[in-house]
A and B are shown apart, each in its own frame.
Chain A
Amino acid sequence: MAASAIVVLPGDKIPQDALPKPMNKKKALTLGPGLRHIPPTTIATTIAGALVTDNKKNAAWIEFNSGRYLPTAGDLVIATINTSTGENFNCFLTPNTPAATLPHLAFEGATRKTRPQLVPNSLVYARIASAGKDSSPELTCVDPSTGKSEGLGPLKGGMVFKISLGMARRLLAGSKGGVTILEALGEKVGFEITVGRNGMLHVDGGNVKTTLAVGRAVQEVDEQALGAKGQKKLAERVLKSL
């Protein structure tokens, strides 16, 4: 990543030299969130944020951490079931947005006879199968190629915590995200977390105290933007209170 981020405003035209320099000339340029292509050769921004480029993937996008989650195909999200119709569950990804559909048969091992019974307000970890501006998003809990759930499915127990979209991306990015608090806590207590790209974090710690402590710790790391040292200190404090 570049040392100094290029800050862009909506409508800025990205100059040619700020775009990624591909190692493989044949690879097409990929535009991520916040960028649009105005034919023939103009690339303009649509949101305010920092321009990030990846030479290896020949991709450019705008990094931002505000606003509402916009569904994108392939994202892992925690959906809340609202209603169940004949074939589908209608679920919410974010409040007050059109419902996403989750077919009854999109669960591992589900058939017409054995379909999962999910009551309203239950949580499901799902992948967005398709999302576009012209249709409501579609969710799935199975990998279409293998038919296995790969960890997706209904979430039981635990509690959901709200985190920022940037924090969700960091948690899913692994070591690049710089979140070390989970490893530090995990050395002493056992818990299970699920991260949804829609700014939801599901924590199941077996008991209420652990669940709350882990969830609140992650929220604190998010709000105060704690670095490695700060996270270590916080983890010690949390573990002492347990």
Chain B
Amino acid sequence: MAPEALLSHLHRADGSATYTHNGYCIIGAVNGPIEVQRRDELPEEATVEVNVRPAAGVGSPKERHLETLLHNTLRSIILTRVIPRTLVQITLQVRSLPDEEGAAGVHPSLLLLPHLLHTSLLALLSASIPLSTTLTSVLIAIPSSPTSKSGAPLVSPTATDLLRAKPIRSVHVFAFSGDNRLLLNESDGVFSFDVWDEACETAEEACCREEGGVGLVGEGMEVDGKESANLEEWLRVVVRRKVEHEQRWKVAT
């Protein structure tokens, strides 16, 4: 199932997005470019600040770890040199998690990471922060099977899928940029290089459009209802809806 996204719904933030997928619901808000504290100021680059707030309680080292991963990935796609000496503040609030999340026996922060990445990207798009490229991310889980060393990879499985496929041998999170370059890889579990390679290829298929496709989407693009083939196309549908919403005054009577 394709993720659901709602853009620019918080009116106090410069950009915001709510993202719902597989039982995960995250609200993202972006403020920027705003004034940066003197001690965080970088002379030639924008400072990026990521705050992850868990569904319950206050942030822990787990959230700090996710923040570091997000910060490093997002900094590579934000054009920080275009807006020097400013701050881009990204706040991500986890609203709900699937009930079976803890029972799957997989590192929970890895399960959350692709959703956090998507939410922050959508919020950045909503805030019109200059970006060098887009980003898509996916979780690949490799269950162990009795016959061979590892079973067929599961692409962005739901928590129930993971529970059914137990035990999981390894999980991998991949993030790709708009031009099909690998931006982030986090893996957990036991796996060989061949398994990783296969997982990476599967992830690329799920994230990126095929080579040779036209860079710009014309009017012939499918609209909501029809399931998007991959995440990049899903992203385009979301942005198309945003543009249509912004320009509806042109067609209004």
Could you tell me which A residues sit within 8 Å of B by CB distance? 4-15, 18, 34, 36, 44, 46-51, 63-68, 70, 96-98, 133-134, 166, 170, 178, 225-230
Contact = CB atoms under 8 A, between A and B. Distances in A.
B176 to A, nearest CB: 12
Given A48-B242, A66-B8, A227 B249 contact: yes
A8 B252 contact: no
Given A13-B215, A98-B35, A47 B240 contact: no
Given A10-B133, A12-B215, A229 B242 contact: no
Nearest to A136: B85
Contacts of B253: 227-230
Q: Report, nearest first, the 7 A-B pairs whose CB atoms are least far apart.
A: A67-B128, A227-B252, A11-B133, A10-B131, A46-B130, A225-B249, A227-B253
Interface size class of B (residues with CB under 8 A): 35 or more
Contacts of B125: 9-10, 47-48
Contact of A178 (B131, B243, B246, B249): B249
Nearest to B241: A7
B34 interface: yes
Interface stretch (B76-84, B99-107, B110-118, B160-168): B76-84
B143 interface: no
Interface in B1-44: 7-8, 14-15, 31-35
B247 interface: yes
B170 interface: no
A13 B213 CA distance: 12
27 contacts: A6-B217, A7-B236, A7-B239, A7-B240, A10-B130, A11-B132, A12-B215, A15-B215, A44-B132, A47-B125, A47-B128, A48-B128, A63-B246, A64-B243, A64-B246, A66-B15, A66-B242, A67-B14, A67-B15, A67-B127, A97-B33, A98-B85, A133-B83, A225-B248, A225-B249, A227-B253, A229-B253
B47 interface: no
Given A47-B125, A48-B125, A5 B249 contact: no
A7 B243 contact: yes
A230 B246 contact: no
B177 A11 contact: yes
A225 B248 CA distance: 6
